[in-house]
Structure 1
Amino acid sequence: MITPESLIRKYNVPGPRYTSYPTVPHWKTDAFDQHRWQQRLNTAFADSNYTDGISLYIHLPYCESLCTFCGCNKHITRNHAVETPYIDALLTEWELYCDWFPERPRIAELHLGGGTPSFFSPHELRRLLTGIFRWADPTEAPDFGWEGHPNNTTHEHLQTLYEFGFRRVSFGVQDYDPVVQQAIHRHQPVENVEQVTRWAREIGYTSISHDLVFGLPFQRKQAIVHTVHQTLRLRPDRISFYSYAHVPWIKGNGQRGFRDEDLPTADEKRALYETGRKLLEAGGYTEIGMDHFALPHDSLYRAAQAGTLHRNFMGYTTAKSNVLIGLGASAISDIGTAFGQNEKELARYLRQVRSGESPLLRGHLLSHDDRFIRYHILNIMCRFETTWTLADWSANDWIALTIRLEALRQDGLVEYDETGLRVLPQGRPFLRNICMAFDRYLNHPVAETSRVFSQTV
């Protein structure tokens, strides 16, 4: 019988997290241009705006200090004079989009990410949102959320965003162990997290999330136990329990504050997750998709139970829109039939927007085959199952797929037949590997992906 340890050793390979399909490294950028993007955007907008509204992600890249575990696109500075010109650029970019739209957009979902959104003053955030809603309206029941750093989120931050309709907030915790915090350069006492959590509840936020990370340098079982116990005491409505993605080859991501040998092994890392998962489930949380947990009253739990959970570049969401517009440096847009990513380098992004140009840097136009495979990967990531008929597949594609799925079936990770696939409980830790069986862009050896994706375990 194959053991959990041998499964980890077998399946711990570089692989995507599947916030999109195709994944960004496999976009065919040569076929992408501004004209094709705008054509497809107008079609998607016309189909989505009146019925479902659109989603908006705003990337706020500034941080005052560098966290060495972070692989996000960010800019480290203590100079807060950068706030005003960046907000100006975001509003100019948004006006460019609104000039393209045939009618006034209706925003169903809005998320402020980073970087550190709470780097920006409440005044600048108010100015940003006033400008956004000068050109748009919220839908009847919008879902607005933002990310706050417990060390610099103020009561005024929380109150200001609440007044614009924000009811979700996530606080980055990572780990409470001072040894781990020292290694990742993220010093924050539990008292700060407790204070902002209390403020958010008193103001009226209905979904408060704490972000935890397992697999960090020097992290041991007792650190996870301590961190989860503190989290259970504060009882956030949902929890993100992310696997640390070690990708030090990405330029400027800062993952140089520790040595590779300071990281837990694959077996140890998985044991950290299982320890945290058992404690969270014993505390009343339910595992949702990959890396997420929620209490039964939270909208993420309800979406999972109803089969309406969705996944995009913002992670798991409860709202599915055909149009997701990303504003800001490096932000990615998803309009169902195409992806587009903004210029990543901050100074170039600002120059382009100030000159009245679209900052789109690259993109991918999804083929019929891309959309077909994306449908199944989304189902697996959100619902742990997907359905099909044999007529959906060509003979060659079906044979190739079943060869890959058969190995997963023999290891007890999935069940499949001519009507669909179901992920078994033992397969849930290997959700990324299961999706990789469907990925038609992963035809090259693992060695070629080892400097592109993080390890799946």
Structure 2
Amino acid sequence: MSPIDTHLLNKYNVPIPRYTSYPTVPYWDNQIDANQWKSAFSLRFEECNENQGISLYIHLPFCESMCTFCGCNKRITTNHKVEDEYIDVVLKEWQLYRQQMTSTPLIREFHLGGGTPTFFSPENLHRLIQSILSDSQVAKEHEFSFEGHPNNTTYAHLKTLFDLGFNRVSFGMQDSNPEVQQVINRIQPQENVQQVVQWAREIGYESVNIDLVYGLPLQTIDRIEKTIQDAISLRPDRIAFYSYAHVPWTSRGQRLFDENDLPTASEKLTLYQLGRSLFLAQGYQDIGMDHFALPDDLMYKIKEQGTLHRNFMGYTVQQTGMVLGLGVSSISDVFYGFAQNKKTIHDYYEEIKQGKLAIFKGYFLTETDQAMRQYILDVACNGKTQFRPEDLPMLETYTFPYLAELEEDGLIQWDFQGLTLTSMGANFVRNVCKAFDLKLLSDEHATLKFSQAV
């Protein structure tokens, strides 16, 4: 990856989506017709289930303490009695969707996110997962994964989920320095991370991922290097190296930070480039945007085959064609449209208990939207894309002027057939994806909706 001069850094460090969907959430409709959504869901289910199967995401929102850097939807509590009711409601939501399915679902991808999934006891996780799997089929080649907090993930958590078919686990390490852990309110001894990784290996998980975050308050070159060396010493199969998204207008915990403690854009990029060089030196391969994997990991193999995919769960090796999201604030993607569940547990419970889907906002894609989404996926996953002739008139109006500027700055090579990222452009994947974001390009007032590109 080429060094970046200050001019390019300043020019392209602007608010831009992470492109886990297109159109992005701020451009969705604040109301969505439930009957239209059910029809779109049923149609896509029939298309996907017989062949590749479906993806399932369950949001488990509870955390015992608040990590102040976190932008996820979560509920802070130490009362574990909340587990039973939440599981009951999620299972009822599952049954509401089962009524829209014309055959037994074939689950190829399953992910538990949060919040803190390991807030729930192993017994309750077993009840949740087993209730769904007992009413489903599991694809022979599947990827079941969950996010584990090193402080509360037990051997029983790992063994219980492994026995249910889970084969990948992601541990949130974030930063291993006490000074940074203190300011983000996530005190997490490195011994805890080492222990859960060791347990996962002993039990037989195929892939272990470590999550790191760069750009946090009080991070320095020395501290990020220590964090990365601590992570590499565990030899995880995958490493997610996320850019801290400073969005205090939506994440209240981030308002507690002294913004003078945050690295500047230039300093933040230096942190990333150091991390990337250290990963590559230890044999990890750059997957894209924020992921690295060892050459024998399936994600790298899929990347090399050109079939890597990206959705709300990030980069994935599965392309089922649809994601069903269960739980508060979860997002479903059925290709023809998106729908998001209500964001508060009270509202979510109220809708599901009345026998109604809890969706409150979403978007149905036009043919143009579908084309732009594919271009964005191509760039994010493969670093290149080919233009369809029927899209050229529209691309000439919105996209090509932007591509010309990107090429002038050395980020891409392009012609009327398609484009390819340069090594310099790999630093600015989100900026290149923006070339196909017609919603954002045509919105003159699109400010403060997204985190900075760097």
Relative to the length of structure 1, the TM-score reads 0.97
8 Å contact from structure 1 (residues 52, 321) kept in 2: yes
How much has 1:444 moved relative to structure 2?
5.5
Q: List gaps (5 residues or longer) in structure 1.
A: none
Matching residue's letter, 1:6:
H
Alpha-carbon separation, structure 1, partners of 2:83 and 2:391: 51
Alpha-carbon separation, structure 1, partners of 2:340 and 2:252: 18
How much has 1:257 moved relative to structure 2?
2.8
8 Å contact from structure 2 (residues 412, 420) kept in 1: yes
Matching residue's letter, 2:377:
L
Alpha-carbon separation, structure 1, partners of 2:419 and 2:392: 17
Range 350-359 or range 124-133, more displaced: 350-359
Q: Which residue of 1 aligns with 2:20?
A: 19
Q: Which residue of 1 aligns with 2:235?
A: 235
Q: List gaps (5 residues or longer) in structure 2.
A: none
How much has 1:221 moved relative to structure 2?
0.3
Deviations, residues 330-386 of structure 1 (Å, cap 9, x unaligned): 000000011000011111111211221111111100000000000000000000000
How many residue pairs were aligned?
A: 453
Range 120-129 or range 134-143, more displaced: 134-143
Alpha-carbon separation, structure 2, partners of 1:254 and 1:443: 31
Matching residue's letter, 2:359:
L
Q: Which residue of 1 aligns with 2:66?
A: 66
Q: Which residue of 2 aligns with 1:264?
A: 263
Question: What SS class does the counterpart of residue 107 from structure 1 fall into?
Answer: strand
How much has 1:102 moved relative to structure 2?
0.7
8 Å contact from structure 2 (residues 58, 112) kept in 1: yes
How much has 1:451 moved relative to structure 2?
2.2
Alpha-carbon separation, structure 1, partners of 2:71 and 2:399: 32
CA RMSD of aligned residues (A): 1.4
Alpha-carbon separation, structure 2, partners of 1:289 and 1:41: 30
Alpha-carbon separation, structure 2, partners of 1:58 and 1:421: 36
8 Å contact from structure 1 (residues 184, 257) kept in 2: no
Alpha-carbon separation, structure 1, partners of 2:95 and 2:131: 9
Instruction: Give 1:27-426 correspondences, 5 Å limit.
Output: 27-29=28-30, 32-250=32-250, 252-389=251-388, 391-395=389-393, 397-426=395-424
8 Å contact from structure 2 (residues 30, 360) kept in 1: no
Matching residue's letter, 1:449:
A
In structure 2, the CA distance between the partners of 1:333 and 1:396, relative to structure 1 (3 Å rule), is closer
Deviations, residues 160-180 of structure 1 (Å, cap 9, x unaligned): 000010010000000011111
Alpha-carbon separation, structure 1, partners of 2:143 and 2:8: 38
Question: What SS class does the counterpart of residue 72 from structure 1 fall into?
Answer: coil
Alpha-carbon separation, structure 2, partners of 1:277 and 1:224: 11
8 Å contact from structure 1 (residues 61, 115) kept in 2: yes
How much has 1:399 moved relative to structure 2?
3.9
Matching residue's letter, 2:409:
D
How much has 1:396 moved relative to structure 2?
5.0
Alpha-carbon separation, structure 2, partners of 1:117 and 1:396: 44
Q: Which residue of 1 aligns with 2:5?
A: 4
Matching residue's letter, 2:186:
R
In structure 2, the CA distance between the partners of 1:304 and 1:394, relative to structure 1 (3 Å rule), is closer
Matching residue's letter, 2:48:
S
Q: Which residue of 2 aligns with 1:451?
A: 448
Alpha-carbon separation, structure 2, partners of 1:352 and 1:445: 34
Alpha-carbon separation, structure 2, partners of 1:133 and 1:261: 49
Question: What SS class does the counterpart of residue 324 from structure 2 fall into?
Answer: strand
Matching residue's letter, 2:378:
N
Question: What SS class does the counterpart of residue 408 from structure 1 fall into?
Answer: helix
Alpha-carbon separation, structure 1, partners of 2:220 and 2:176: 12
In structure 2, the CA distance between the partners of 1:169 and 1:396, relative to structure 1 (3 Å rule), is closer
Alpha-carbon separation, structure 2, partners of 1:134 and 1:90: 15
Question: What SS class does the counterpart of residue 437 from structure 2 fall into?
Answer: coil
8 Å contact from structure 1 (residues 57, 325) kept in 2: yes
How much has 1:134 moved relative to structure 2?
2.4
8 Å contact from structure 1 (residues 73, 253) kept in 2: no
Range 223-232 or range 149-158, more displaced: 223-232
Identity percentage of aligned residues: 49
Alpha-carbon separation, structure 2, partners of 1:365 and 1:114: 26
Q: Which residue of 1 aligns with 2:425?
A: 427
8 Å contact from structure 1 (residues 70, 253) kept in 2: no
